[in-house]
Each structure stands twice: as C-alpha cells, then as structure tokens.
Amino acid sequence: MWREKKRGPYPTRVGYGSFLFEEVFDLKAVVIGAGVFGSLIARELTKYDLEVILIEKNLDVGWGVTKANSAVIHAGYDDPPGSVRAQFCARGNAMYEKLSKELDFEFKRTGSFVVAFNDEELKELEHLLKQGEENGVAGLTILERDEIFSMEPNLNPEIRYALYAPTAGITEPWMVAISAVENALQNGLKLVLGEQVLGFVKMNGRIKKVITDKHEYEADIVINCAGLHADEIAKMAGAEYVPLHPRKGEYILLDKKLQGLVKRVIFPTPTKISKGILVLPTVDGGILLGPTAEDLPEEMKNRPLTTREGLEKVREFTRKLVPSLDFSLVVKTFSGLRPESPQKDFFIKKSETVENFVNVMATRSPGLTAAPAVAEYVVEELIQERMRLPLIRKKNFNPLREGIKRYSSLPIEEWKREIEKDPRAGKLVCFCNEVTEKEIVEAIRRGARTLDGVKFRTRAMFGRCQGGFCMARILKILERELNTDMSEIRMKSKNSWIVNGKVRE
C-alpha cells in the first residue's frame, strides 16, 4: 500500500513493490507510437506533473495505421456487448464533440445508414439495433423506403430498410493525432521522431530504460501504442501480447465534384468478416469508397499495396449502394493496414509480468472512435488505479489548440484583411484545395519537415492533381523555410527523396 508524507506542497508516495518514487512529479512516462492512440494518451498524460516522452519511428505523427482508414466515428452498434470494443466505442464517440472544439480539428456528426435489400438483411439490422441499445447508443431507429430516400435520394432504389444512427460522424484521423501532439507540446511533451525502439533495460521486473536506434530514455511508465508492431514491442519488453497480423483495406477517393452525392456514411449489411465496403463523404467534400478486408500474413505489416482485384471489388460493391457513382472522377486509390488479432477485440491492459508496462494493442475498428475514451482509461484507471500512481494534476494545463487558418474558407472581406496583414495569405500554392503560402509556412513552423508533413496539415497535394502542379512550389518553400538544400527534403521516409541534385547550374 501507499503511505503519504508531506514534503513541501507535494505528497511523496513511497513503497509500491520494489520501486521507490522520490516525487510523483519526477516520474517519466514513455509512449511508444504516435498514432491516434499514442498521441491522445500522451496529451492526457501532459495534464499531470510528470515528464512525458512520445517516440515515433516515422518522421511525423499519425503516419501508421492512423492515416489510412475510413475516418468514421462509429456509433457503437456493431460491437458485441461485453467486448472491450463495446466498452469504449460509444463513450469515445460522445467525446469527439468536445475534443474537436478543444483541438480545433474538423468533425462532422453526419449520421450513418446500414442498408438492407430484403427481409433477411432486415433481421441483421434488428440485431444491430438491439446490440446498439445494449451498448448505450442513442437514437437508433430502423427506417423504411420513404424516410430513407427523403434523406439520401441517390441510394439504390432497391434498398428497403436502413438502420439510422444519428451519432455517427466523420473526421480526418491524422489531424486528430497532429492536433493532440501540438497541444501536448504546448503542455510540456517531448516529441521524438525518426527513432525506432529496439529494446529495453529492465531491473526487478520493471523497465528502467527504452532503447532506440539513436538514444536511451529513462522510463518509470511505458505505454505501448505501436500499432501493427505492438506485439513485437511487447515481446521485447517480456510482457503479455496477442499476435497481430495486418488486415488490408483498399480505397478509392472521388473528386469533390460529387460533393453531396451522399450526406451520411452508408454501410451495407455487415458480414462476419467486416462492416462492409462503404460510401461516405469526407470532411473536405470528396467521396470515399471502401475498404475491402483481406487478412495478410504477419510479414506483410509494411506492405499496403493496392490490387486490380481489390479496387474492382470496391467499384462493384459501392455501385450496388449508389448506382450513380462516377468512376471517371477518381482522384486516387490507396490502401491501409489495420492490426487484427485472433480474438478480434482490443487488448488494453496493464502487464502482469512487467510492473510498469501498459499494452494498447489490437486496436482494429472502431479504434479511431474509441481512442479518446481509451486514453482517459489508460491514465486514470490503468496507471493511477492499477499501478497505484496517484498523479498530481497540473493547475496550468491548457486544453486548447488553434488550427492552421484556412484562408479560402473565410468571408472575402476578412480574407482581404488577412492579405493586407500578410500578402502570403493571398498567394495560392495548391489550386485544387486553395491552400496559400502562409498556411504552408505555418505548417512548417509547427513541425512539418517533409512534403507529406505539409500535405496532412494543410491538404495541399490532396486534391485533383495530387501535387502535380504544386509539389515543386512546396519544395521551394520547404527549402527556403528550413534553410536546406532541396535534395535533403523527403516525401515521407528517409529514403523517399524527390530530387538528388541540379540538372544545370
């Protein structure tokens, strides 16, 4: 048990296991992996008086599982009652309104339909309705044809029923991670990018240091949020784990010319394998189609490849939902990998074999939705209650982060005033998404060091031309602002160089 004694204004906690804590606020927490889980957990930890280090092997945050998924904030009817997924999904969904306002990222509560073509599929909708009600999902109802087509007139006219979930929504997953990290940095986070965890130093059943390919970091608490590689990290630590394999989903993104074709997330009736191939709007006005669901062997954790067969499957299944989809307006195709496990459920636990180690792994769908609730649970329940570390809350924690201003979305008079203050606010660099030079400079000021770093923060290169017209201009801005040679700038990884020298002087 803990016993307290006073030393100045802070209590000293002594005598947990074989480890003595001099002061609670001297603790060091290391979070491994800066996806949406690691980023939100790191932010949650910065609410307390301890040193927080977030280690990410990529050159930026939110580039693993986080950046390539359906971007849906699920309502919570799909998760079996009693599962860990069900424990966190509806609760996480309810947290997004406040979180998006605090961190200033886009979140739209669009609602969702699960559609049925016949009475047999209707039975599954009724099952989902009952399951959702058990999970505490509000507002679920089954609609018939007239109501469905008054809300979504472009759906297949053969659809007869739909489960309507008004609490479902959409966001940009990478911006959840980026904005959480930016806010955490304001509150004292130490962010370590481009370093891969290789092992640990342990003593008396506890991790003392985290070893990367470049440095060593002292640690009193370690939280494993390494996505597809979380099982490997747990093995290194000697902690419990579940085996992970990648489940690949292929996607097609359609142009903003189709904006409004659907207003909600449209699911087919789910199968035992997946929630199905969806049609949904993106927060910036495009239409996203996918994903497929293909289980891959463990050794393909780093190979998110698209295939002719997979993309054809996306086209075939989504046309069944929305027959008027225009595939001449494809902007890009891509795939994402998510961590799947034999139990098909989250594995979020304090280790029994390593005293100061927490696993946040097997975070398959609805991981994005559950992440805010999981972050709160890890810090309040697993660290403070199970590890018996009653952390001291900061009095000066600032929960607010201001996003990069999108000048083209401002009223024209306000935009003119911004241009008068700084002419760069009027210089369009990306014409597809109307991104100005000032926005790109601001992204670099906030930590973008690569083309993808700029892309994910500003949406430059995300439009119809996919960087065909603006990439060279962005390279020049990066070169100028970072005071480096263009040949040193990368697309995203250390090996993804763009230019390797000048053709002529």
Active site residues: 74
- Burial class from Cβ neighbours inside 10 Å (0-12, 13-18, 19+) for residue 343 reads exposed
CA–CA gap between residue 389 and residue 6 (Å, rounded): 16
The secondary structure element, H or E, covering residue 109 is none
CA–CA gap between residue 318 and residue 301 (Å, rounded): 27
Q: Do 184 and 27 contact (CB within 8 A), yes or no? A: no
Q: Do 148 and 366 contact (CB within 8 A), yes or no? A: no
Backbone φ and ψ of 174, nearest 5°:
-65, -30
CA–CA gap between residue 430 and residue 437 (Å, rounded): 9
Give the number of other CB atoms < 10 A from CB of residue 5. Answer: 8
Instruction: Tell me the C-alpha to C-alpha distance, in Å, between residue 318 and each of 276, 278, 290, 309.
Output: 10, 7, 8, 14
The secondary structure element, H or E, covering residue 461 is none
Q: Name 87's Cβ contacts closer than 8 Å, sequence gap at least 6.
A: none
What share of residues in the chain are helix, strand, coil (percent, to 5)? 35, 25, 40
Say what angle helices 451-458 and 437-445 make with each other, to 10 degrees. Answer: 110
Joined together, the tokens standing for residue 189 give: 């986070």
Give the number of other CB atoms < 10 A from CB of residue 490. Answer: 18
With vertex at residue 328, the alpha carbon angle to CA 323 and CA 333, rounded to the nearest 5 degrees, is 95
- Which 3-state string (H, E, C) describes 299-331? HHCCCCCCCHHHHHHHHHHHHHHCCCCCHHHEE
Q: Do 277 and 294 contact (CB within 8 A), yes or no? A: no
Identify the DSSP state of 14.
E
- Nearest in space to 300 (alpha carbons), one of 381, 340, 255, 245: 245
CA–CA gap between residue 493 and residue 499 (Å, rounded): 14
The secondary structure element, H or E, covering residue 206 is strand 206-212
Radius of gyration of the chain (CA): 24
CA–CA gap between residue 273 and residue 338 (Å, rounded): 14
Which single residue is written with the structure tokens 């990018």?
A: 193
CA–CA gap between residue 361 and residue 234 (Å, rounded): 9
